[in-house]
Amino acid sequence: MSVNSNSALPKHIGFIMDGNGRWAKKRGLERKFGHREGAKTFRKISEYCCELGIKYVTFYAFSTENWKRPKDEVDAIMSLFESYLDDVRSHVDEKIRVIFIGDKAPFSDSLRNKMIALEEDSKNFDRMTLLLAINYGGRDDIVYSVKKIAEEVKKGNITPDEITEEMISDGLYTKNVPDVDFIIRPSGELRLSNFLIWQAAYAEYYFTDVLWPDFSKKDLDKALEDYLNRKRRYGGI
């Protein structure tokens, strides 16, 4: 089954970019070099998704739990975000919308302002929507939404009985973005790691031992071929 321009391709793909540190360790390098290679793969794969006509792509770049890593590694990742933003800026030039999901508050004013500017400059583009999950956690996302709903209940605008799934979805960082259809995780780890846990209710999953810096267009083709051979049931038969 051909991947190129197949109408049955997922509308929204999520990537858990995992394996950068192990990639570096296998080569006797510091972990930061793995993250640099991972940034190159991000650029390559995001461009290829656009070529394939995928409308929404979410990359899990930094989780709320990643702050627990050694300070020197976190500092290296933070400095790399500048490179990420340079790559993302080129996507804006290609008429791609950029959305950052997660809590921006802990970042420096400079980084946060660049993120906000990218979102603003690309808000009217629709060739593809690129979502970068930075300081993101699925549980935190749900709490973020529930707090907003709780405020509406407190104000008397709604009652608890009136709360719906749609209200929760509308309060998430991914508001107005369709639920993820297909989640790909390189590196051999078999877990979701708190990624889009509300939005992934009926997602298909694909795991591969390939480390993220080595993940290629051919690897994505292989994953998509697997997806195309599945039948999504959404809880039915």
Would 196 be classed as within a structural domain? yes
Residue 94 confidence (pLDDT) above 90 = no
pTM of the model: 0.92
221 tagged catalytic: no
66 tagged catalytic: yes
Looking up residue 55, the CATH number of its domain turns out to be 3.40.1180.10
Would 233 be classed as within a structural domain? no
CA–CA dist 111, 7 (Å, integer): 37
Domain count, the chain: 1
Would 117 be classed as within a structural domain? yes
CA–CA dist 20, 184 (Å, integer): 15
> Between 78 and 124, where is the model more confident?
124
Would 171 be classed as within a structural domain? no
- The structure tokens listed for 58 are 């979410």
Q: What is the pLDDT of residue 93?
A: 75
At residue 87 the predicted structure's pLDDT band, cuts being 50, 70 and 90, is low
φ, ψ for residue 59, nearest 5 deg? -110, 125
Options 4, 6, 18, 75, the catalytic residue: 18
Contact between residue 81 and residue 114 where contact means Cβ atoms under 8 Å apart: no
Options 4, 20, 66, 126, the catalytic residue: 66
What is the domain range of residue 30?
12-137+181-228
Q: Which of 24-33, 169-178, 187-196, 228-237 is the least confident region?
A: 228-237
User: Helix H segments across the chain?
Assistant: 20-26, 31-52, 71-93, 109-122, 138-154, 165-170, 217-228
